[in-house]
Amino acid sequence: MSGAIADAMAGIGHCSRCRMFSEHELCSICAASGRDAGQLCIVESPADVMAVEDATGFRGMYFVLMGHLSPLDGVGPEELGLAMLEQRIRDETITELIIATNPTVEGDATAHYLADMAARNKVPASRIAHGVPLGGELEYVDGGTLSHAFYGRRPVD
Ligand SMILES: [Zn+2]
């Protein structure tokens, strides 16, 4: 990454709670009142948050991985903030962990990791249905398809 881009990225900042891009310590979603803090939707990118917000009536919270597990590229649990996520799962009362990673090889591997994390912390987890085309990315899927996949989500174990 070039220095200029790195500087620009650093200037944006991230929400301390969900890792979404934010100019403030908490992003507008985390800071909002009236959302269901028990439903935690895990997505790969900030664009996926916008896609889910636009396509569904979801009123829970998010956690943004800023990527997916990709050992060959040196992206492991640490880079994705998964320790922070697990701490959040332990500290908060999560009624449903909604896994909305992309249906790609890396997204699937990440989803399995998240499902294991949910299981060992005894938190119910679900994954959005695969109306999303294989290899597709949530942000490029039309709203109707994403909404269908979101509400067709199934428990994972
Ligand atoms: Zn946030």
pLDDT tens digits, 26-43: 999 999 999 999 999 999
**Residue listed under structure tokens 């709670």:** 17
Kindly give the distance from the C-alpha atom of residue 19 to the centroid of ligand 1, in angstroms, as a whole number. Answer: 6
134 φ/ψ angles, rounded to the nearest 5 degrees? -55, 135
Tokens representing residue 49 in the block: 């948050």
Kindly give the distance from the C-alpha atom of residue 26 to the centroid of ligand 1, in angstroms, as a whole number. Answer: 5
pLDDT tens digits, 107-121: 999 999 999 999 999
Q: Are 49 and 70 in contact (CB under 8 A)?
A: no
Tokens representing residue 110 in the block: 């990440």
Kindly give the distance from the C-alpha atom of residue 27 to the centroid of ligand 1, in angstroms, as a whole number. Answer: 4
pLDDT tens digits, 92-150: 999 999 999 998 889 999 999 999 999 999 999 999 987 666 666 777 778 888 888 88
Identify the structural domains of the chain with CATH numbers, from first to last: 34-155 (3.40.1360.10)
Task: Please list the helix, strand and coil fractions of the chain in percent, rounded to the nearest 5, in that order.
Answer: 40, 15, 40
Binning pLDDT at 50, 70 and 90, where does residue 1 land? very low
